[in-house]
A and B are shown apart, each in its own frame.
Chain A
Amino acid sequence: MSLRLGRGWGVAAAWVILILVVGGAVFADTLAPYDPLEQSLRNRLQPVSWQANGDWRHPLGTDQLGRDILSRTMHGARLSLAVGCIAVVIAGTLGVMLGLVAGFYRGVLDRLLMRLADIQLGMPFMLLAVLIIAIFGASVRNLVVVLAVGGWVIYARVVRVQVLSLRERSFVESARALGASDLRIVAQHILPNVVPSVTVLASFAVAQNIVLESALSFLGLGAGPRTPSWGGMLADSRAYLATAWWLAAMPGAAIMLTVLSINTVGDWLRDTLDPQLRA
């Protein structure tokens, strides 16, 4: 219980951080102090502002090309959040639809889908991602495709299991007795009951996608060098570990704070909406 006590504050802090990150990302064009791509070799590798020789014009310092780290981090947030969320929407829609169909109609389609899910899970996700990017090339669109392809299974599985039990419930039977069509039963009576679980899964998936997107960008398999990304910034930072710690620290801290906040909010959502998912 002692862990519970600080919980309210933790969730509130997570919301605040999340709003700041999302706000910074959405309004990066107006809020960011500099163009994230603007180079200024005279100002290269300036330390963070609170260090002795820091400068408040670049609160989080500058990188090896004199680009402003704060601005780059904000624009990186835009990429990570956009890619993460769009992929979740696509994967969620696909997964929920397949899960509904598989659970409601059972039969061959169900077995086929679940076998496909097994096969996909039989391959570490990172490998699937790397394979897809290797073939179709590295781009923002392909990042979304990769994350969506990797993400649908979890929704399909959870929804399917829920539908299997929901379809036997009496309210579904009543609806059927009243002559409701399959589509109406699924849309009106079953779908609303799976929404809480899907919401919770989706919130955790956004955090997971952000980490995966950063990892792929870090490997050079994400958006190109013209698009500021947290993973790309981390990759660049490796040559300056001895001289400029902030290059690696800032984008990494941004990823961690964002992921931690989303997970905290996700935990809270789960306990509020769908305690059963705890297991």
Chain B
Amino acid sequence: MARFALRRAVDLVVTVAGVMTIVFVMLRLSGDPLGLVAPQDASAEELNELRHAFGFDQPLWTQYAQFLARAVQGDLGQSLQFRRPAVELVLDTLPMTLLLTAAAIALSAAIAIPAGTLAAFRRGRPADRAIMTGTLVGQSIPYFWLGIMLIMLFAVRLGWLPTSGSGSLAHLILPALTLSATSMARTARLVRAEMLGVLRQDYIRTALAKGLTTRAMLFRHALRNAMLPAMTTLALDTGILLGGAVVTETIFAWPGLGRLIVQGILLRDFPVVQAGVLYLSITFVLINGSVDGLYAILDPRIRKAA
């Protein structure tokens, strides 16, 4: 177990370092970074001074080392728009993104697992067909369009829920539903397929033969064995959802990190974009890493294989 954990930890560090390198290289690829910080009417002399002040006259690898050193200390520059450290802004908004993503994953699991189980149990019946059709639609509907249509229906027409913003549980419902749709559909399909496999097993027949109720059989024996693959997709989806939050937050004016990044791009506030991308990526890597760890605890076979 310790060796497994160590390996994963090394992987995490390498991946985060890789992401930081990508961010650094890209910002340097964009040309002279001085254009981003210098005032438009700066003279050649002032430009040189600035270049020296920011260390842009150093060799590239020195700049890279400095970037890494500063990033590790949590210094990713000042926001050009808000005149505050970029990292502060990022840390202010990150919890809202995590809340939204967690709500979406929870919603996805809460609906997809029972739906997939029901579909498998009622295979070929109307309930199965309705659920499968729903998942097909859910997998093909662009989530940002779904979000707009949900606003139109539940906020504008029916007036049941707020159109955008944050502050209450009601504000969370539509964005979380929007963000979770694709993942929900995929997970329901997977749970159904896994359950179909499990329900054919001998131990299910045994469970029923010894007089277990259907419900006990389904939840205590069948579902448990179908859960690991379901958890795999849900975990992988967490990352996709973190990326999707960028769009969803913009639709619903949800004050999270995704919206901050998009605003940063539109306002050309590069330190914020850089810090935001870095932190969201690190969150993503950490989530994936802990999911791997969780598997190792849940399924001893994985531990041995590693």
A contacts, CB < 8 Å to B? 1-3, 115-116, 118-120, 122-128, 130-136, 211, 214-215, 218-221, 231, 234, 237-238, 241-242, 245, 248-249, 251-252, 255-256, 259-260, 263
A234 and B247 in contact (CB under 8 A), knowing A134-B265, A263-B139?
Answer: no
Q: List residues of chain A with CB within 8 A of the CB of B218.
A: none
CB closest residue in chain A, given B26: A135
In the complex, 16 of the A-B residue pairs with CB atoms within 8 angstroms, ordered by the A residue number, are: A1-B124, A122-B281, A123-B19, A125-B240, A125-B243, A127-B281, A131-B22, A135-B29, A218-B144, A218-B250, A234-B145, A238-B251, A241-B156, A245-B152, A248-B148, A255-B142
Q: List residues of chain B with CB within 8 A of the CB of A218.
A: 144, 247, 250
Identify which of B16, B144, B152 contacts A241 (C-beta below 8 A). B152
Identify which of A115, A237, A255, A260 contacts B136 (C-beta below 8 A). A260
* CB pair A130 B142 closer than 8 Å: no
A215 and B142 in contact (CB under 8 A), knowing A119-B19, A131-B26, A133-B265?
Answer: yes
CB closest residue in chain B, given A251: B145
Q: List residues of chain A with CB within 8 A of the CB of B277.
A: 123, 127, 130-131
Q: List residues of chain B with CB within 8 A of the CB of A2.
A: 124, 129
Give Cα distance in the complex from A55 to B114, angstroms.
46
A123 and B284 in contact (CB under 8 A), knowing A130-B265, A252-B148?
Answer: yes
Q: List residues of chain B with CB within 8 A of the CB of A256.
A: 140-142, 145
* CB pair A214 B19 closer than 8 Å: no
- Interface residue tally on B, bucketed by range: 35 or more
Q: List residues of chain B with CB within 8 A of the CB of A248.
A: 145, 148-149, 152
* CB pair A124 B124 closer than 8 Å: no
Mark interface residues in B18-60 (1 if CB within 8 Å of A CB, else 0): 1100110011011000000000000000000000000000000
A130 and B284 in contact (CB under 8 A), knowing A2-B129, A237-B148?
Answer: no
Q: List residues of chain B with CB within 8 A of the CB of A242.
A: 156
Q: List residues of chain B with CB within 8 A of the CB of A260.
A: 136, 140
Give Cα distance in the complex from A122 to B285, angstroms.
6
Give Cα distance in the complex from A221 to B144, angstroms.
15
A220 and B266 in contact (CB under 8 A), knowing A124-B281, A125-B243?
Answer: yes
Q: How far is the CB of B38 from chain A (nearest CB, A)?
A: 17
Asked if B280 is an interface residue, CB under 8 A from chain A, the answer is yes
Q: List residues of chain B with CB within 8 A of the CB of A249.
A: 149
Interface SS majority for chain A: helix
CB closest residue in chain B, given A132: B26
Q: List residues of chain A with CB within 8 A of the CB of B105.
A: none
* CB pair B140 A124 closer than 8 Å: no
Asked if B246 is an interface residue, CB under 8 A from chain A, the answer is yes
Identify which of A120, A124, A231, A234 contacts B243 (C-beta below 8 A). A124
Q: List residues of chain B with CB within 8 A of the CB of A124.
A: 239-240, 242-243, 280-281, 284
List 10 A-B pairs, minimum CB-CB distance, nearest first: A124-B243, A119-B18, A126-B243, A252-B145, A122-B15, A260-B140, A135-B30, A134-B265, A2-B124, A123-B281
CB closest residue in chain A, given B250: A219
Asked if B14 is an interface residue, CB under 8 A from chain A, the answer is yes
Q: List residues of chain B with CB within 8 A of the CB of A136.
A: 30
Asked if B261 is an interface residue, CB under 8 A from chain A, the answer is yes
Give Cα distance in the complex from A224 to B231, angstroms.
40
Asked if B262 is an interface residue, CB under 8 A from chain A, the answer is yes
Give Cα distance in the complex from A277 to B141, angstroms.
23
Give Cα distance in the complex from A234 to B144, angstroms.
9
Q: How far is the CB of B254 from chain A (nearest CB, A)?
A: 14
A255 and B145 in contact (CB under 8 A), knowing A2-B124, A119-B15, A122-B285?
Answer: yes
Mark interface residues in B63-81 (1 if CB within 8 Å of A CB, else 0): 0000000000000000000
**Inter-chain pairs besides A118-B11, A135-B29, 8 sampled, C-beta below 8 Å:** A115-B18, A122-B285, A123-B19, A127-B280, A130-B262, A219-B246, A231-B144, A252-B145
Give Cα distance in the complex from A127 to B139, angstroms.
21
Identify which of A116, A214, A231, A263 contacts B140 (C-beta below 8 A). A263
Q: List residues of chain A with CB within 8 A of the CB of B140.
A: 256, 259-260, 263
Q: How far is the CB of A189 from chain B (nearest CB, A)?
A: 32
Asked if B174 is an interface residue, CB under 8 A from chain A, the answer is no
Q: List residues of chain B with CB within 8 A of the CB of A125.
A: 240, 243
Mark interface residues in B207-227 (1 if CB within 8 Å of A CB, else 0): 000000000000000000000
Q: List residues of chain A with CB within 8 A of the CB of B270.
A: 134-135
Which residues 270-306 of B have a CB within 8 angstroms of A?
270, 273, 277, 280-281, 284-285, 288
Q: List residues of chain B with CB within 8 A of the CB of A241.
A: 148, 151-152, 156
A134 and B156 in contact (CB under 8 A), knowing A215-B144, A218-B247?
Answer: no
Mark interface residues in B229-244 (1 if CB within 8 Å of A CB, else 0): 0000000000110111
Give Cα distance in the complex from A225 to B65, angstroms.
40
A234 and B280 in contact (CB under 8 A), knowing A211-B142, A260-B140, A263-B140?
Answer: no
Asked if B132 is an interface residue, CB under 8 A from chain A, the answer is yes
* CB pair B22 A123 closer than 8 Å: yes
* CB pair A134 B273 closer than 8 Å: yes
* CB pair B273 A131 closer than 8 Å: yes
Give Cα distance in the complex from A119 to B273, angstroms.
19
Q: List residues of chain A with CB within 8 A of the CB of B15.
A: 118-119, 122
